[in-house]
Amino acid sequence: MKWLRVAILWVLSAGAAVCLAASPKPTKPFRLPPKMASDVATAEALGIGSVDPSGFFHHSGAYPPLALVWQVDDRVKQAEGVFPHPLLPDRVLAATRGGLLLSEDAGVTWNALAEASADRIGIVRGIAFSPDVPDTFFAATDHKGVWATVAAATGKTFKQVGSKQAGLASDDTVLITYYPQDRRFRTLLVAHGEAAPGISVSRDGGTTWQVVAPDYHVRQIVGGNAGDREIFIVAAKKSAPDVQNIYYCVSFDDFWLELVHDIIPTDAAVSTLVQPGSVWTVEVFRGSSAYFSTADAGLYRVTQGEGFKVGPENLLAALSIGCAWGPHADSQVLYAYEPKKLGLVVSVDNWKTCTPQSAGLYTGAFVKEGARIRANANGTVFFASINNVLYVGRRRPGPLEVSRVTVTPAIFTFEDEAYKGAAKGTAEALRAVASAKLAAVEARKFIQSTREARAFLSDTELTIAAKVAAAGAAPRSVTVDLSRLGGSPVTPLFDDGRHQDGAAGDGVWAAQFRLDPRHLKNDNRDVRRRWPGPMGLTVTATGEGGAIAGAVGVLAVYDRPESFNFSGRKVAPIAVDGKPWEKTFSTGERPPVDISGFHALTFWIKTDAEGAEEISVQLRDDQLFSGSTSTPPVPILQEKFIDGGKVAGDWRLVSIPLARLLKGVKQFETSRLGAVVVSGEGKVTGNYWIDEVRFHISPESLKTYEGVYTP
């Protein structure tokens, strides 16, 4: 089977290799603009970072190492799990035998969510926080299916959105997660462990469900950032239920490549840092590493093709593993829990070395299955659920400390193509004013253009705030690195009561800044994880004697999926000579595209043939290993999907709802569309022309398009 593995890896790496081959050649050394050179000089004088030859600002310096002190939180009774929010450092959920508890201050206080009692929704086993709506999350429960709320802060809107009766494989669920390839965040995956084989999938945000992979008992599903295609799955074949394996796949209902055989994975984590340059071709999640803990074989790092043992040799039975930001965005802390002797061990060098951080944390021979340790969104507070007891690990206080860093709002979204189009249109209108003979006429057009573009070109004001504690004198400076957002790496924060920082002198430092998509930086040479997804913004405090301390604020950046042309203006005629014909519009050498949640397909068509014949439309997906699936043909004349009811000598618009094209198809993979197929009966003789095959993301997008453009 080795030849098969090699062949598969070659296919998986081919697309990445093409991208790398097409990358531009190295250019001359980067030269800093004068303003940034001054900022970098300031950062170097403070001892907090410098710029590398590629022009990236990176943090360095004597940041204090992580040192945790654990305490039992005896207010939380019969703890079953703990789930920190991935973007909001202060928000964390605790699952108990009585129901869900919510903290909005990183575990300082807890409040029961009355509508999420265990009697009503069951004991929660997994949480999927919405990547783009902070107050929405889904809960996987034992015995009572999947529940959801859109008001996390109050928990007053819990409703059941998934059950066996509604299509789940079982009402017993062990995990729920968003499918990262769906950048509209509508596809949910639910695992059922030993309760039932298969993955329960919803492609419409929990409204409907179906079961895929019915030959596997799935225990874990690990994905990356928005848009990442790959996932890892921990599962056992139904025919060999006692043998668990780690699988890699690019689509959950395509071929699964077995990476690690016959181990007992207990937990998984994804690194916050990425492999820059060409190394990412063997990694996943845009270069991030994925790690697994096991109950019998220690720790593993897994790639597209195999697994590697990592960590100390005496760490054989780890029940939990995780990854958090360190004191700045260029650092990360990997951590794992070995219950018998080591307790929590942490590593800042990808498991080359590690140190214990178990003061006050339970270690012993008896630990129940399901023990977990999780860090909050920026790694400033740790939580452990062990033997139904909740432990909270906080940093040992030092002479200088940065904590509770928040970014408000924590999510920034924009429409990239619409933004570029609006910017281009405004620039062209402005040039027309400058060169026009009658400037007043062109000025009116320019004003109209700016009004139309305002929704896309207006920037967003954000606030970053941090709690800073300093023994003795106040810190000399508190700064935030906004270099990846087009700002200064030493943007100052203030504690003067005038920058959304609360009262003057209260220890809360803040700054406001405006985020413009033109200034976002995303480069494969950077070691920090790239958007779309969470980015780390480093806040650094400097004190007397050169002491520094830092923590990360988390900002999620997403470019929204938009309406797009699947094929360009290819107006070559299709010759028809009385025989059935077919025209395929495909992605070709480009990767398959994701149309999950899109609204409609349109294209323009005309003919010089006399007479009429039915024209049909189908979609075809493009799985990497298994066979493609095609949707049933949809007749555009019979179902009146064309303007005027027939194909004629003038261009006419065909508009078909995707719900109609996908009707009755269970296994079609909308996240991997490979082709649009148009066919005819061949009853006539002549030519057809088909132009601009386009997918529309919403009814509003389609309405704007209809009647506006003619090929």
What pLDDT score was predicted for residue 458? 55
The model's pLDDT over 640-661, given as tens digits with 9 standing for 90+, comes to 999 999 999 999 999 999 999 9
Q: Two tokens at 294?
A: 């096991």
* DSSP codes, 373-422: EEE-TTSSEEEEEETTEEEEEEEPP-SEEEEEEEEESSEEEE-HHHHHHH
Q: Fill in the amino acid letter for 248.
A: Y
pLDDT given at position 452: 54
More confident of the two residues 568 and 361: 361
Q: Is pLDDT of 280 > 80?
A: no
What the block records as the tokens of 272 is 């916050």
- pLDDT at position 314 over 70: yes
Confidence label for 450 from pLDDT (cuts 50, 70 and 90)? low
Specify whether the CB–CB gap between 329 and 536 falls below 8 A.
Answer: yes
| Structure token pair of residue 243 | 């043998």
- Give the residue-averaged pLDDT of 558-576: 84
Question: For position 199, what pLDDT does the model report?
Answer: 97
Which of the four pLDDT bands, split at 50, 70 and 90, describes residue 16? Answer: very low
Q: Distance of CA 486 to CAs 412, 437, 699, Å? A: 15, 38, 35
CA distance 558 to 533: 6
Nearest to residue 412, comparing CAs of 470, 358, 337, 462?
A: 462
pLDDT at 14: 39
Contacts of 362-368 with CB under 8 Å at 24 or more apart are 362/386, 362/387, 362/389, 362/391, 363/339, 364/339, 364/340, 365/340, 367/319, 367/339, 367/340
Nearest-5° Cα angle at 690, 689 to 693: 170
64 burial (CB, 10 Å; 0-12 / 13-18 / 19+) is middle
Sequence-ordered list of residues with C-beta below 8 angstroms from that of 697, at least 6 positions apart, any chain: 561, 562, 563, 597, 598, 599
Region 182-195: mean pLDDT is: 94
Query: Is a pLDDT exceeding 80 seen at residue 449?
Result: no
pLDDT at 17: 37
Phi-psi region of 686 (alpha: psi -120 to 50; beta: other; left: phi over 0): left
Q: Is 147 helix (H, G, I), strand (E, B) or coil?
A: strand
Residue 581 has pLDDT above 50, yes or no: yes
- Range 509-527 average pLDDT: 85
Quick: pLDDT tens for 200-255.
Answer: 999 889 999 999 999 999 999 999 988 888 899 999 999 999 999 999 998 887 88
537-551 mean pLDDT:
92
pLDDT in tens, 113-140: 999 999 999 999 999 999 999 999 999 9
Helices 416-435 and 439-457: angle between axes, nearest 10 degrees = 160
Average pLDDT score over residue span 60-73: 93
Angle at 72 between CA 71 and CA 78, to 5 degrees: 160
Q: How far is CA 406 from CA 81, 91, 411, 486, 537, in A?
A: 24, 11, 11, 19, 10
Burial class (CB in 10 A: 0-12, 13-18, 19+), 711: middle
Band the pLDDT of 273: cuts 50, 70, 90: very high
Query: What are the backbone dihedrals phi and psi of residue 485, each rounded to the nearest 5 degrees, phi first?
Result: -110, 15
- Residues of the chain within CATH 2.60.120.430 domain(s) are 564-705
Tell me phi and psi for residue 219, to 5 degrees: -115, -30
Percentage of residues of the chain with pLDDT beyond 90? 61
What is the pLDDT at residue 10? 37
pLDDT in tens, 394-438: 998 888 999 899 999 999 988 766 666 666 666 666 677 666 666
Average pLDDT of the residues in 96-117: 96
What pLDDT does residue 664 have?
A: 82
Q: What is the pLDDT of the chain when averaged over all its residues?
A: 87
pLDDT at 7: 41
pLDDT at residue 309, rounded to an integer = 94
Residue whose structure tokens are 């809960």: 139
pLDDT at 680 over 80: yes
Pairing of strands 533-542, 508-515: unpaired
Give yes or no for a contact between 128 and 188, defined as CB atoms under 8 angstroms apart. Answer: yes
What single letter denotes the amino acid at residue 139?
A
Instruction: Compute the radius of gyration of the chain from its Cα atoms.
Output: 28
430 token code pair? 């402005």
pTM of the model: 0.87
- Of the options 2.130.10.10, 2.60.120.10, 3.40.50.1100, 3.40.50.2300, the CATH number for the domain spanning 62-396: 2.130.10.10
Write out the H or E segment, with its range, that includes residue 425.
helix 416-435
Could you identify the residue written with the tokens 């265990």?
Answer: 118
d(Cα 475, Cα 89) in Å, to the nearest integer? 23
Euclidean distance between CA atoms 20 and 189, whole angstroms:
32
- Between CA 446 and CA 501 the distance in angstroms is 39
Comparing 355-364, 501-510, 698-707, the range with the smallest average pLDDT is: 698-707
The gap from C-alpha 234 to its chain's centroid, in whole angstroms, comes to: 20
Region 22-43 average pLDDT? 62
Question: For residue 543, is pLDDT > 60?
Answer: yes
Q: How far apart are CA 563 and CA 701, in angstroms?
A: 7
What is the rounded distance in angstroms from the CA atom of residue 189 to the CA atom of residue 196?
Answer: 14
Q: Could you tell me where in the chain the CATH 2.130.10.10 domains are found?
A: 62-396
Give mean pLDDT, residues 142-159. Answer: 90
Query: What is the pLDDT at residue 117?
Result: 96
- Hey, which CATH number is domain 564-705, 3.40.50.150, 1.20.120.160, 2.60.120.430, 2.40.10.350? 2.60.120.430
pLDDT digits (tens, 9 = 90+) for 526-535: 888 888 899 9
Of 590, 589, 591, 584, the C-alpha closest to 570 is 584
Q: Which amino acid appears at position 471 of this protein?
A: A
Query: Residue 605: which of 670, 497, 686 has the closest Cα?
Result: 686
Stretch 670-690: mean pLDDT, rounded? 92
Structure confidence at residue 677 (pLDDT) = 96
* In contact, 510 and 499? CB cutoff 8 Å: yes
Mean pLDDT of 477-503: 93
